Structure 1
């Protein structure tokens, strides 16, 4: 399968036109046993299906475990779902809907994917990189988040896009009425960036293309099918998308500048703020442990 698109009943290999159903079972093997011999006992279809992989769909993304040895996805995610139950309740994920049209944006940036994670984890850069956002969700309104080894980011007590942009979207039914301006932005290591607000959520997947090239894929989710697709909410959905497009576009210069700076012969490692950079340092430690463990495994192998 070379590109995204709707599968018309079967998956067909363009090389010899073998076909598979949507469960991966091999169904058609034209001329496999010679001209016009489309079946051959030497090539039993039941033994040559597509390889099965563990997968899970969550917040509009497909998570895949290639090794087959990862813990259950729900177990990995439990620390985050338990944390966010205070905002989303027990059925928050079921209420999130991806719009059939719009609600998505992607951009290629000239940086290593890890720098995009660093940038997302901290609010330290807000006053200088995001002056508009900082006008209503200020640096002093933010707090650090780091927990359960695999999650880190920031939260805000003063998220206020609905008033700033004049949007009017349904909110999560379980979201506390006295905390409608709360928002949290958490990275799920290694490369997924998540955000929740009272009236929408978003997920960004970072796709590494090279050591200095990354594609950021943003997807918005709204509360209920009407909010995601009904015409009366179209202007509000577009305003939310435009606002986040501005914010993430403002980050491009910062992360590309960090990438360029790391090529300098004078670069010997950065300096963390002991207060403002705690989530970023948490990600660095997570990454370092895995790099070191992988190196040790290679030595032992």
Structure 2
């Protein structure tokens, strides 16, 4: 009597989904313009009047903190003639510094002097008082949705139709509930320009089938990654390190104290979360590595990797983050190199699709994520 039938091979998304401008154009409109995108940390705009310009899939967004301390986001475009309000890089290209942007608690357009509150309301429009149908209340800056979790700032380019934010976070708040994410601060950021599709990078993050061949140093810290690609592990509890190791460094050890509030298991394990579409978050007992993915084209992604540490540790004399940063940088470069190999390989004219092994079950998430958004009706 034969046993149960073996499962069939699972196909990846079609290769065109990773390599064509048409696929990327669809994703910009249906994913990055409509979903909650992780864009910053609250610490980036710490005080009232602080601001930051962020590019979200080609759209320039102005993130500001109001006098009351609330974060607001607006499209970086004046309602008068459409000038970009903050564009210091372009001014510098001409050897200029035009008098516009966020100045003295106002958002002022340098073109004709229209001025807005930090909340986005039009306050001043020179020489418009005599226009009969001029209505300031109808000419606020175009809004961008803002939501916060764990010190991260999420933006939504279509706030009137934004999906539920709690649903977008899925299980991350519960699984990482003991980690003091809001109290962490960015010690160092490394930007990587990766010649690979953003979905390939997410798929790579979501499996460890590749860890044995690609990450020998990581497998010294986490030997379980060599066994069945880690698929036997209880990811809910976190990834165990080798005996005596507690964190992601070359030695698996550090002089930093574990975060306050962790369980005994969390003090010696590692957890990872993928929050679609663009946040990969890996958390050890003493630090976190946050990866913000910024797709630039079908075959190019900028990855903003932030290394986060607790403020109490940062304040200690002799604080040094290099043990974690250097180890992560090595592992990251290994990942980006192999993702670029995949991008180049699937660009071959004969490649129609790939396959998932049984060890890549989590990689199937990207297929479901894309399919769900293809099925949603347009607003």
TM-score by length of 1: 0.79
TM-aligned CA deviation for residue 202 of structure 1: 2.6
Structure 2: any 5+ residue segments left out of the alignment?
1-85, 90-100
| Alignment partner, residue 312 of structure 2 | 226
State the alpha-carbon separation in 1 of the partners of residues 319 and 287 from structure 2.
Answer: 13
Q: Confirm whether residue 200 of structure 1 aligns to residue 287 of structure 2.
A: yes
1:163–1:126 CA distance, 2 compared to 1 (3 A): closer
- Map 1:247-266; keep pairs closer than 5 Å: 247-266=331-350
TM-aligned CA deviation for residue 122 of structure 1: 0.8
TM-aligned CA deviation for residue 72 of structure 1: 3.8
State the alpha-carbon separation in 2 of the partners of residues 104 and 59 from structure 1.
Answer: 18
Over residues 53-104 of structure 1, what are the superposed CA-to-partner deviations in whole Å (9 max), with x where a residue is unaligned?
321133443212233333442343252212223x43xxx333x3223xx421
State the alpha-carbon separation in 1 of the partners of residues 330 and 110 from structure 2.
Answer: 41
TM-score by length of 2: 0.64
| Alignment partner, residue 28 of structure 1 | 124
Equivalent pair of 2:249/2:327 in contact (CA under 8 Å)? no
Equivalent pair of 1:171/1:198 in contact (CA under 8 Å)? yes
Equivalent pair of 1:169/1:233 in contact (CA under 8 Å)? no
- Map 1:32-43; keep pairs closer than 5 Å: 32=128, 42-43=133-134
Match of 1:12 among 89, 103, 108: 108
SS of 1:216's partner is: strand
- Map 1:277-296; keep pairs closer than 5 Å: 277-291=360-374, 293=375
| Alignment partner, residue 80 of structure 2 | none
Over residues 6-56 of structure 1, what are the superposed CA-to-partner deviations in whole Å (9 max), with x where a residue is unaligned?
9432222232221112111212222335xxxxx756423222111233211
| Alignment partner, residue 214 of structure 2 | 129
State the alpha-carbon separation in 1 of the partners of residues 120 and 108 from structure 2.
Answer: 11
Equivalent pair of 2:211/2:226 in contact (CA under 8 Å)? no
CA RMSD of aligned residues (A): 2.9
SS of 1:114's partner is: helix
Over residues 91-148 of structure 1, what are the superposed CA-to-partner deviations in whole Å (9 max), with x where a residue is unaligned?
x333x3223xx42111111111101101111111112211211111131476459xxx
Which structure's residues are more often helix, by fraction? 1
Equivalent pair of 2:295/2:301 in contact (CA under 8 Å)? yes
State the alpha-carbon separation in 2 of the partners of residues 271 and 130 from structure 1.
Answer: 21
TM-aligned CA deviation for residue 162 of structure 1: 5.5
| Alignment partner, residue 58 of structure 1 | 149
- Map 1:98-109; keep pairs closer than 5 Å: 98-99=185-186, 102-109=187-194
Query: Which 10-residue stretch deviates more, 167-176 or 121-130?
Result: 167-176
State the alpha-carbon separation in 2 of the partners of residues 129 and 119 from structure 1.
Answer: 11
State the alpha-carbon separation in 2 of the partners of residues 84 and 2 from structure 1.
Answer: 37
| Alignment partner, residue 261 of structure 2 | 174
SS of 2:176's partner is: helix
| Alignment partner, residue 181 of structure 2 | 93
State the alpha-carbon separation in 1 of the partners of residues 149 and 325 from structure 2.
Answer: 20
